[in-house]
Amino acid sequence: MADNAFFFTRLQYESGDWDVDQRMPSNLLNSLVEYTTLAVDKQENIITLGSEEIFKCPFCYLSGHKLVQFTKKEKENFEKYVNNGGFVFVDDCNHDIDGLFAKSFEQQMEEIFGEDGLKKIANDHELYRIFFEFEDGPPTTSQELNGWGDDLVHEYLKAIEVNGRIGVLYSNKDYGCEWDYDFRNKRWYKIDNTRFGVNIVMYALTS
């Protein structure tokens, strides 16, 4: 990884299927190059959640469809990382509040941060205006009404905040699959749908 460059880290966990939406990171990294002045490492960084490497990462991504059941070490690292200023963007590939990923991940967060840890964030939160402006809160994805999942547009995101700052941003909107295409195809979109990803990264790095 290039010195002082932003790098995208995907967290590998022992349960479930962590290796999803494989083209999304390069697509989002391309958007950071295109829209911002950040120095960007274009290679996705993959580490195990149980590794000490997590504490070197400014931004982490965790996703999947299946069961999330952290090991003791994974729980310890997740809690320590978040409580010490780290940022994890968690995206449910099922886009389904009653799905296995959602239920099991939220249970993990309750066990680590308490039953009141994960809360809805207001749609006028700084996250929605830190770079691009999203007046209505989180942008809708085509995944939400595709006949799978709960067929519901989720009008808010949830987060775990530490000292007034988001440490875990949690989405049931399936942004990972929404942005899972070759970045060269963005020219066919009237509005680049990865722009919200730029906001997420910029919030993680500057808030």
Read off the pLDDT of residues 96-145 as tens digits, 9 standing for 90 and up.
Answer: 778 899 999 999 999 999 999 999 999 999 999 999 999 999 998 887 77
Phi/psi region, residue 174 (left: phi>0; alpha: psi -120 to 50; beta: rest), is left
Torsion angle, CA of 69/73/79/83, rounded to 10 degrees?
-160
Q: How many helices (H) and strands (E) does the chain have?
A: 5, 7
Q: What is the pLDDT of residue 180?
A: 87
pLDDT top residue among 186 and 192:
192
**pLDDT tens-place string over residues 13-68:** 999 889 888 999 999 999 999 999 999 999 999 999 999 999 999 999 999 989 99
The answer, yes or no, to whether residue 181 has pLDDT greater than 90, is no
Q: Which residue has the higher pLDDT, 167 or 144?
A: 167
CA distance 125 to 127: 5
CATH class (in words) of the domain with range 9-206: alpha beta
Distance CA 95, CA 117 (A): 21
Residue 142: the pLDDT is: 81
pLDDT band at 149 (very low <50, low <70, confident <90, very high): low
Q: Tokens 């409580």: give the residue.
A: 83
Mean per-residue pLDDT, 70-84: 98
Single-letter residue type at 206: T
* For the chain, the helix, strand and coil percentages under 3-state DSSP, each to the nearest 5: 35, 15, 50
